Amino acid sequence: MDRILENRCAIITGASRGLGAEIARKYLEAGASLMICARNEADLDESLAALKRLAGGGQSVLALPADISKSSDVTALVGEALREFGRLDILVNNAGVAGPIGGIDSVDWQEWLRTIEVNLLGAVLLCRAVLPHLRQAGRGKIVQLSGGGATRPLPYLSAYAASKAAVIRFVETLAEETRLQRIDVNALAPGPLDTRMLDEFIAAGPEKIGSEFHERSVRCKREGGIPLRHGADLAVFLGSSLSDGITGKLISAPWDNWRALPAHLDELNRTDIYSLRRIVPGDRGLGWGDTE
C-alpha cells in the first residue's frame, strides 16, 4: 500500500500516543499530510516532533491541542486544517477514553457522562464539522475507531461499551446519509491492544472490573496484545481509494480479511455483513420465534 494516500489531507484525533500515533505514522508513510490533535499538549508536541522527522517532501504535519467533545475546539481544529491544506480528504476519529470502571450504580455519574461526550458526541461533532467540505468535494473518507464494547457486553465498563455500540450505529446511519456523495464511513475494530487503556483495566483490579476481564487484560499485557500496525494498516486502507464503495461496515483489523474486500463489493453492499444486527431464533436454526 505504498504512497496510496499521496496528496491526501487527513485529520487524526488522539494521535499523541498509542494507536493514534501509529496511524499517523502509517499515514505519513502512505504520503498524506496530517493535522493531529490530542488533549495533552506535551504528549502532542512530542508526537508532532517525531512525525515531522518522518515527513517527506511536499508533506505537512500540523498539530493543535483539542478536546473533541467541545464544539469550539472542533471548529478550530477543522478550520486550521482547511486554512493550511486548502482541502480535507480523510477524518480518523481515534480519540477515546475508557471511562469509569465499576457497577453502574456505583460509578461517578459525571465520569459516565464524560465518556459518552468524548467517545460518541466527540465523534459526531467532528463528522458534522468535516461533512460540508467532503460533500462539496464529492468524495471523502471517515474512519471511526471502535472497540470490544461494540459487539458484546462489558460488565463494569458500561459507559465505554454503550458509547462504542452507539458509535457503530451512528457510522451505519451516516454511511447511508452520505452514500450518494461518495463519502465512505466505516468503523475499525483494532482488537485488544497493549496501550495505556489496558493499563487502566489492569490497575482497576479484579474486584472492580471483574475477574474474567481482568485475567484477559493481564494475559493481553503479558502476550503484548494485537500489534498496533494491524489497526494502522486497516486505517490506511479505509482512507484510500482501495476501499472506495465500502461503507457502513465494522471491520476487524486482526480477524477480517479486509484486503480482499474490494473483490466482494457487490456482496458487501447488498448484505448486512460486518454490521450490528438483532439475532432472531431463526438465525440459530430455531423455529419458535415467529408469530403464526
Residue with cell 451516516: 174
Please check whether residue 75 is in contact with residue 68, taking contact to mean a CB–CB distance below 8 angstroms. Answer: no
Write down the pTM of the prediction. Answer: 0.95
Q: What is the mean pLDDT of residues 125-135?
A: 97
What is the DSSP secondary structure assignment for residue 251, as one 8-state letter? E
Q: How far is CA 280 from CA 173, 270, 283, 286, 289, in A?
A: 22, 20, 6, 9, 7
Please check whether residue 141 is in contact with residue 181, taking contact to mean a CB–CB distance below 8 angstroms. Answer: no
Q: Closest by alpha carbon to 186, among 268, 75, 290? A: 268
**Is there a single domain that holds both residue 218 and residue 112?**
no
What is the DSSP secondary structure assignment for residue 120, as one 8-state letter? I
**Is there a single domain that holds both residue 87 and residue 209?**
no
**Is there a single domain that holds both residue 168 and residue 46?**
yes
How far apart are the C-alpha atoms of 146 and 182, rounded to whole Å?
22
Residues paired with residue 188 on neighbouring β-strands, in sequence order: 145, 251
**Is there a single domain that holds both residue 118 and residue 160?**
yes
**Is there a single domain that holds both residue 82 and residue 117?**
yes
**Is there a single domain that holds both residue 147 and residue 56?**
yes
Q: What is the mean pLDDT of residues 173-188?
A: 97
The pLDDT mean for the chain works out to: 95
Q: What is the mean pLDDT of residues 24-37?
A: 97
Give DSSP secondary structure letters for 176-234: HHHGGGTEEEEEEE--SB-SHHHHHHHHH-HHHH-HHHHHHHHHHHHHTBS-HHHHHHH
Q: Is residue 291 part of a domain?
A: no
State the number of CA atoms in the 13 A half-sphere of 49 facing the CB: 6
Residues with active-site annotation: 160
Task: Write out pLDDT tens, residues 102-120.
Answer: 999 999 999 999 999 999 9
User: What pLDDT, on a 0 to 100 scale, did the predictor assign at position 194?
Assistant: 87
Please check whether residue 171 is in contact with residue 186, taking contact to mean a CB–CB distance below 8 angstroms. Answer: yes
Task: Write out pLDDT tens, residues 36-77.
Answer: 999 999 999 999 999 999 998 899 999 999 999 999 999 999
Residues 6+ apart with CB under 8 A from 164: 119, 146, 147, 148, 149, 150
Q: Is residue 255 part of a domain?
A: yes
The dihedrals phi and psi of 178, each to the nearest 5 degrees, come to: -115, 5
How far apart are the C-alpha atoms of 271 and 292, rounded to whole Å?
27
Q: Is residue 265 part of a domain?
A: no
Please check whether residue 10 is in contact with residue 89, taking contact to mean a CB–CB distance below 8 angstroms. Answer: yes
The dihedrals phi and psi of 39, each to the nearest 5 degrees, come to: -80, -35
**Is there a single domain that holds both residue 180 and residue 36?**
yes
Res 292 pLDDT > 70: no
Domain count, the chain: 2
User: What pLDDT, on a 0 to 100 scale, did the predictor assign at position 189?
Assistant: 95
Which SS3 state, helix, strand or coil, does residue 26 take? Answer: helix
Residue range(s) defining the domain that contains residue 57: 9-191+228-260
